[in-house]
Amino acid sequence: MATSQDCVQLTRDMLRLNTINPPGNEEACAMFVGRILEDAGFSVRSHSFGPGRTSLVANIGGVSDKPPLCFTGHIDVVPLGAAPWTRDPFAGETDAGKLYGRGSSDMKSGVAALVCASVAMAPKLDRTPGLELVITASEETGCEGAFALLKEKALGRAGAVVVAEPTSNYPFVGHKGALWLRARASGVTAHGSMPDKGVNAIYKAARAVQKLEAFRFQNPAHPIMGQATVNVGTLHGGLNINSVPDEALIAIDIRTVPTVNHKALLEQLARQLAPDVAVESLMDIEPVYTEPDDAWVQDVFEIMTPMLGERPVARTATYFTDAAPLGKAYGNPPTVILGPGEPQMAHRTDEYCELERIAQSVAAYQEIIDRWCLKG
């Protein structure tokens, strides 16, 4: 399994296994990939954080002094959305150089490419630093699969991490963090004809929303990632027109940069929005960043230069990835996000991936493995 045709076929096989999350159901896809890796000589362990919610950790090679290289990708995909598709999302149709399907870009092509490259290199990896492949369930809803691996101490060592998320094969040196909060306003209900007898929770929530709109981050902007952002995603309150609402809930999506301290930010917001609302954290994923002058990052830049037609410069992604929980487990080694999918196709109707990029990423990953394991 080394040719790009094999890798397109593997992507297609994975697209046919429905892993839409929720509910996820990654088990069949994980077992399918696990068998391929086992046949290639990897030692494969599966870990489920719930029924059918299966992630894999697979290893090959390994020496004591230099840690393995980690490749990671998730196998869950997002729902199809309300708009009808013009292509079958689960058939793996190809047309005019594109492979269509839910997850073709985000990110079954990336998982297929890392598997194909690893399998192709496997016969050479005995008594080398080797590889740790981490194939996760449930990334899309907040990295639950990866966090479960972290909690179970299911991860080994890694000296560098490649996250095969869609980047059109442009290596990103990090991504923003995400701090998702819920703010709850509490009131006292009363008949809508006697509002003076109650306390209106929606008025409190509205004041909090206005403060959030006006919120300015005090941390310095990051030289590559820029500044953090805040977005109010939902606001729910009230039961009917003729009652004073006694509860309103605000969902807040904050995307952070490395100059933000999550704990301090949460405390600052809780202070500023009090007493109108009480704030709690729903999800806390740290940003990931590697200095672009890191030697291994420069190696990756060099490998990608002929494929991109230019030497990459330091760029980062706005979305979060499993690199955040994995980085915690591995002690924050240098990390790049590099995958064949098209970032602008992620989560879209009629999602596709370019066949040429799949072939390129298999070649690039093999070169990255070769340098880490055989030339380092």
Cα distances (angstroms) measured from residue 304 to each of 37, 175, 188, 359: 26, 19, 61, 13
The rounded distance, in Å, linking the Cα atoms of 342 and 370 is 25
Write the DSSP symbol of residue 220: P
Strand pairing class (247-256; 288-289): unpaired
Taken in order 331, 337, 341, 343, the sign of the CA dihedral is positive
CB of 109 to Zn ion, least distance (A): 11
Binding mask 165-184 toward Zn ion (x if CB under 5 A, else -) reads: x-------------------
CB 340 within 8 A of CB 358: yes
Question: 107 vs 208, which CB is nearer to Zn ion?
Answer: 107
Span of 158-166, 168-176, 188-196, 244-252 interacting with Zn ion by CB under 5 A: 158-166
| Nearer residue to Zn ion within complex by CB, 54 or 167 | 167
Structure tokens at 280: 């709690």
**Interaction pattern, residues 52-91, with Zn ion; x per rule: CB under 5 A:** ----------------------------------------
Kindly state whether residue 113 participates in binding Zn ion, applying the rule CB under 5 A: no
* Interface segment toward Zn ion; rule CB under 5 A; list 83-91, 160-168, 205-213, 229-237: 160-168
246 binds Zn ion (CB under 5 A): no
The smaller minimum CB distance to Zn ion, of residues 165 and 246, is found at 165
Which is nearer to Zn ion, 75 or 125 (by Cβ)? 75
Q: How far are the Cα atoms of 105, 178, 188, 206 from residue 341, in angstroms, in the given order?
A: 4, 22, 50, 40
| Closest CB 165 distance from Zn ion, rounded Å | 5
State yes or no: residue 106 binds Zn ion (CB under 5 A): yes
Residues shown for the chain: 376
**Bridge-based pairing state of the strands 229-237 and 174-175:** unpaired
Q: Which stretch binds Zn ion (CB under 5 A): 105-113, 185-193, 205-213, 303-311?
A: 105-113
Contact range with Zn ion by CB under 5 A, out of 25-33, 141-149, 164-172, 212-220: 164-172
Token pair of 261 as six digits: 């301290």
Minimum Å gap between C-beta 338 and Zn ion is 13
* C-beta separation of 174 from 285 below 8 A: no
Smallest distance from the beta carbon of 167 to Zn ion, in angstroms?
A: 11
> Is 164 among the residues that bind Zn ion (CB under 5 A)?
no
**Buried/exposed code over 263-280 (b: 16+ C-beta within 10 A; e: otherwise):** eebbeebbeebeebbebe
**Near Zn ion by CB under 5 A: residue from 107, 116, 300, 303:** 107
Collapsing DSSP to helix, strand or coil, 232 comes out as strand
Q: Which residues bind Zn ion (CB under 5 A)?
A: 106-107, 165
